[in-house]
Amino acid sequence: MKARNGTEPTTGTTDSGNPARVDSSTIYSRIFDAIVDHKLPPGTHLKEDELCDLFGVGRTRVRSALSRLAADHVIELVANRGAFVASPSVEEAREVFRARRVIEGHLIRRAAERRNPPMQQALTEHLHGEHTAREAGDTAQVIRRCSRYHQLLADQADSPIMAGFIRELIARSSLIVAIYEKSKPDKCEIDEHRLLSDLVLAGRADEAAALMDRHLQGIEDRLDLKRESGTINALSQSLGFN
């Protein structure tokens, strides 16, 4: 199973102090991150038994984690058939980006109004890491840094409920990009994280919100959302029918 790549269990201590077992939150986070980082492609079957073997735990913890992942819409639970990494439709894709523009637009304004030295440090460090990963050609780390930048920014708005919504929307965006991306980000888009941070840290809320809107629109415009269904078309492309 592909899930073996990059999701090896560790034997760190769990919250409950048991050194041999990972708890369901860890399982959840591992799978969530693997999905957001494009390590588990849309449609991947997540079999309970394999996850149990992989994490060295019983089914209860695995099922609890899978249930939470389903609540976040990053996997789909199909009765009697199992858990699959979600494959968002074109309609979902459009709404996810619209929802992000609405909510992230609001949150970035609040962040700009609340700028402070710890925020500056957090954003600056993150961008430095992003830049370093790009220079190093570390694709996996670039993907990680880019997707987490938006979450970091949302977390600066003192709005944990909406930051939670954004968390879900970012994960779904990641799946959407995996399915529908037809071109890589250009230089302008790559620079936009820095520009966004500059505007936020300068307290220019209106401009930050407007740039966020354009930034998200730009990501959406890179997607081929005219296709009826991503996974079916990916299959027919693989088989040479296009």
108: which 2 tokens?
Answer: 């970035």
Nearer to a copy of itself, 71 or 136 (CB): 71
Residue 226 binds to DNA (criterion: CB under 7 A): no
Distance of alpha carbon 176 from alpha carbon 42, whole angstroms: 9
79: which 2 tokens?
Answer: 């009765």
**What is the DSSP annotation of 83-113?**
EEE----HHHHHHHHHHHHHHHHHHHHHHHH
Nearer to DNA, 62 or 112 (CB): 62
Residues that bind a copy of itself (CB under 8 A): 64, 67-68, 71, 73, 92, 95-96, 98-99, 102-103, 106, 159-162, 165, 169, 172
The interface mask with DNA, positions 59-98, x = CB under 7 A, is xxx-xx------------x-xxxxx---------------
37: which 2 tokens?
Answer: 């980082």
What is the distance of C-alpha 47 from the center of its chain? 22
Distance of alpha carbon 212 from alpha carbon 187, whole angstroms: 16
Nearer to a copy of itself, 48 or 95 (CB): 95
Nearer to a copy of itself, 87 or 159 (CB): 159
Residue 68's binding partner among DNA, a copy of itself, none (Cβ under 5 to 8 angstroms by kind) is a copy of itself
Residue 49's binding partner among a copy of itself, DNA, none (Cβ under 5 to 8 angstroms by kind) is DNA
Nearer to DNA, 18 or 217 (CB): 18
Distance of alpha carbon 9 from alpha carbon 21, whole angstroms: 9
Least distance (Å) between residue 57 CB and DNA: 6
Which residue, 58, 66, 59, 78, is CA-closest to 31?
66
CB 231 within 8 A of CB 42: yes
For residue 77, the cross-strand partners are 83
Helices 90-113, 139-154: axis angle to 10 degrees equals: 60
Only segment of 32-40, 45-53, 86-94, 136-144 that touches DNA (CB under 7 A): 45-53
Only segment of 20-28, 105-113, 156-164, 229-237 that touches DNA (CB under 7 A): 20-28
42: which 2 tokens?
Answer: 């849309």
Nearer to DNA, 86 or 127 (CB): 86
For residue 45, the cross-strand partners are 84
The footprint of DNA on this chain (CB under 7 A) covers a number of residues equal to 22
Judged by the rule CB under 7 A, the positions of this chain that interact with DNA are: 16, 21, 23-24, 45-49, 57-61, 63-64, 77, 79-83
